């Protein structure tokens, strides 16, 4: 059955969400504060365009893709309806806001942690759980580019939710934050390097100060390494060899995976849930856990 969805926020990323909703035959009505986008959004195929917030009861589900600093106020307005909400990451941009939302019993709120749906990350998880390369020693990721279209928050809150959820997807849990250092410009974090745990440990760098785009995830094992070199590649590179192997002895395999876009997969999962299927894989509590980790890391940089 075709589902009727309210999409709140239809900027750069929201328009990508709209396209996937339409690809999946969802009747989508857009709520967007920028009236100048109306014609473009209608031309894309939206069933309607409005300023403000929807009457939730008119919809099967709601997707929120507004700036993350607005999430608390929007959710507080819409949550009492009980209509399922799919919320773009991060949950909020402060721990206080996230804890306030926890009080509304948000069982109907799910997070759009897109990297949980990336087939390459799922393959890294499967390799880790199989034990074929031995025990996981570390997870290392780099997420970098120049500047950001998101002006309401900094790089720690905007970028690091991805790497934190990737680590949990592979390990099955999140290690405790140990240390972090931030690059600040006029008091605003533009980059952060963080370490979580000991054995295994997670280390990641996020930055808006790189002149090129980098999206790399590496998992180091006792008997080899598995690497997702960027988000658009169609394979994971598996290098077999331990700490004592010579270069000539390394065995390298390119293990391919399905290249269906993760955004398509997560929107499809939400629509399937609305049709009686399993809930999306990232709950409100998962989103809150990510916020708590970021808060601790930022505190460690001070």
Question: 123 and 103, same structural domain?
Answer: no
Residues 81 and 185 in one domain: no
Average pLDDT, rounded, for the chain: 96
Same domain, 226 and 123: yes
Token pair of 291 as six digits: 């916020």
- The whole-number pLDDT of residue 238 equals 98
Whether 141 maps to a domain, the answer reads yes
Inter-CA distances, 301 with 8, 93, 164, 180, 261, Å = 34, 17, 17, 5, 35
Residue at 300 is within a domain: no
Same domain, 144 and 106: no
Q: So what's the pLDDT on residue 131?
A: 97
* Domain contains 122: yes
In a domain, 201, yes or no: yes
Is-contact 68 93, C-beta < 8 A?
yes
Quick one: 37 exposed, middle or buried, by C-beta within 10 A (0-12, 13-18, 19+)? middle
Where on the phi/psi map is residue 146: left (φ > 0), alpha (ψ -120 to 50), or beta? beta
Q: What is the CATH number of the domain that holds 276?
A: 3.40.50.720
What's the structural domain count of the chain? 2
Q: Is residue 145 part of a domain?
A: yes
User: What's the confidence (pLDDT) of residue 218?
Assistant: 98
| Residue 247, in any domain of the structure | yes
Q: Does one domain contain both 33 and 165?
A: no
Pair 222, 236 in one domain: yes
Q: pTM here?
A: 0.95
The reply to whether 88 and 15 lie within a common domain is yes
Each residue of 7-22: pLDDT tens digit? 999 999 999 999 999 9
Q: Please determine, for residue 291, whether its predicted confidence score (pLDDT) is greater than 80.
A: yes
Co-location of 32 and 147 in the same domain: no
Asked whether the CA dihedral 86, 90, 96, 99 is positive or negative, the reply is: positive
- Is the domain of 157 the same as that of 202? yes
Query: In this predicted structure, what is the pLDDT of residue 150?
Result: 80
State residue 113's pLDDT score.
97
pLDDT at 1: 72
Domain interval for residue 175: 116-259
278 in a structural domain:
yes
- Torsion angle (degrees, nearest 10) of CA 182, 173, 175, 111: 20
Give the residue-averaged pLDDT of 237-251: 95
**Are 226 and 94 found together in one domain?**
no
Evaluate whether residue 9 is within a structural domain: yes
Question: Does one domain contain both 125 and 30?
Answer: no
Same domain, 125 and 245: yes
CATH of the domain at 157: 3.30.360.10
């Amino acid at each position: 059955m075709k589902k009727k969805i309210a999409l709140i926020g239809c900027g750069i990323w929201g328009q990508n969400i709209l396209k996937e909703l339409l690809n999946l035959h969802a009747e989508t009505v857009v709520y967007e504060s920028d009236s100048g986008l109306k014609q473009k959004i209608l031309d894309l195929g939206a069933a309607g365009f409005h300023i403000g917030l929807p009457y939730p009861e008119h919809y099967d589900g709601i997707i929120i893709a507004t700036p993350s600093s607005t999430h608390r106020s929007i959710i507080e307005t819409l949550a009492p309806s009980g209509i399922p909400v799919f919320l773009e990451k991060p949950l909020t941009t402060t721990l206080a806001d996230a804890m306030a939302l926890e009080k509304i019993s948000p069982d109907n709120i799910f997070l759009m942690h897109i990297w949980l749906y990336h087939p390459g990350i799922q393959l890294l998880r499967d390799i880790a759980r199989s034990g074929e390369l031995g025990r996981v020693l570390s997870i290392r990721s780099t997420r970098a580019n120049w500047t950001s279209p998101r002006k309401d928050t900094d790089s720690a809150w905007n970028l690091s939710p991805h790497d934190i959820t990737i680590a949990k997807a592979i390990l099955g849990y999140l290690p405790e934050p140990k240390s972090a250092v931030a690059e600040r410009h006029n008091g605003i974090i533009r980059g952060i390097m963080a370490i979580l745990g000991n054995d295994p440990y997670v280390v990641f760098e996020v930055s808006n100060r790189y002149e090129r785009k980098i999206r790399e995830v590496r998992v180091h094992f006792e008997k080899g390494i598995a690497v997702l070199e960027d988000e658009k590649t169609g394979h994971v590179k598996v290098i077999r060899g331990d700490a004592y192997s010579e270069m000539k002895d390394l065995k390298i395999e390119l293990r391919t995976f399905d290249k269906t876009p993760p955004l398509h997969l997560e929107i499809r999962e939400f629509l399937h849930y609305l049709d009686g299927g399993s809930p999306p894989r990232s709950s409100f509590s998962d989103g809150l856990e990510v916020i708590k980790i970021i808060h601790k890391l930022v505190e460690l940089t001070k």
